[in-house]
Amino acid sequence: MPKSPVGNDMFISSDGCTRKHPLNCPKNKRFIKITGTRIPDVLQFNMFSNMSIAECQKECLKNCSCTAYSNGDSRGDDNGKCLLWYEDLLDLRRYPTYDHLSFHLRLTAEDIAPLSHSKRKRLMMATIPVSLTFLMLIGVLYVLWRKQMYRRGKKPEPKSSTVRELEVPTFEMNTIAKATNQFSDSNKIGEGGFGPVYKGQISTGQKIAVKRLSLDSKQGLNELKNEVILISKLQHRNLVRLLGCCIHGVERMLIYEYMPNKSLNNYIYDCAMRKMQTWIRRFENIIEIARGLLYLHLRFKIANSS
């Protein structure tokens, strides 16, 4: 701070600047870099040649009376002059054109505290808007995702409540993905209104068929629940057996026992496989289909359109 406020206002530099708080050696080892400042009066300093700015700082720290140090007019040369000031600083003024000077003022413990508080305040002012913007972006993305799920008829629902309602064995997503070779095309065996069907094999060696709900399908969670509840109650040798289900995020899958002889549709509509069926075998198929339908009609009041 200036010794004489009047002298400072009148640009009279003879009184110089003095510290608000005295230096306490050896605790005061920190400096603040000031740019755009004319160095103090040249009559009140020591000068060393061929000394880097780091060496200059060490030289200042050796003396408890050293108030500041500078590289002089070295124009960025790290092996230039070293100027050291002691006691009060005279004729210290700000000049924007002196940005090439590196003037380092020694700080006291009382000076450091306000600077640290100011840095924390600036840091908070910079990080708070960024954090708020990030949270708002996350919120907008979540709302858009919810709307997209509602449009597709797939309202997000906690997995635990869904599993409790279904009361059937559940499979983890990782288990099904590994069993179907990450749902590869080579494991795909068909596709229906529900979505694609994949064959797979779980760790126990059992082969399975996985019906995976397509994201473009209009069939949502309610339809899946109805199918699971219905099929889980069916026990007939002519009806495929439901082994469980998998619900992971928006993924909906039904796991059935694998039919190595493929679907009945192949024997009805595929010309090559149809020729392999004798009329006796076809008649047996018709009887078995009728028995399966009779079982469904007697057990449940449902309409079978297929």
DSSP state of 240: P
**pLDDT value, residue 187:** 94
Rounded to an integer, what distance in angstroms lies between the CA atom of residue 244 and that of residue 253? 9
33 burial level (CB within 10 Å; 0-12, 13-18, 19+): exposed
Angle between helices 221-232 and 159-166 (to 10 degrees): 30
Amino acid at 99: D
User: What is the average pLDDT across 271-300?
Assistant: 82
pLDDT at 232 over 50: yes
Q: Which residues, 6+ apart, have CB-to-CB distance to 102 below 8 Å? A: 33, 35, 53, 70, 71
Strand partners, 33: 104
Residues in the chain: 306
Give the pLDDT score at 199: 94
The span from the CA of 301 to the CA of 306, in Å, is 15
70 and 101 Cβ atoms separated by less than 8 Å: yes
118 has pLDDT over 70: no
Instruction: Identify the pLDDT of residue 181.
Output: 94
- E strands, 154-286, in order: 188-191, 196-201, 207-212, 242-248, 251-257
pLDDT digits (tens, 9 = 90+) for 145-201: 777 766 654 555 555 455 555 667 889 999 999 999 999 999 999 887 778 999 999
Quick check: 190 and 197 in contact, CB under 8 A? yes
pLDDT band at 28 (very low <50, low <70, confident <90, very high): low
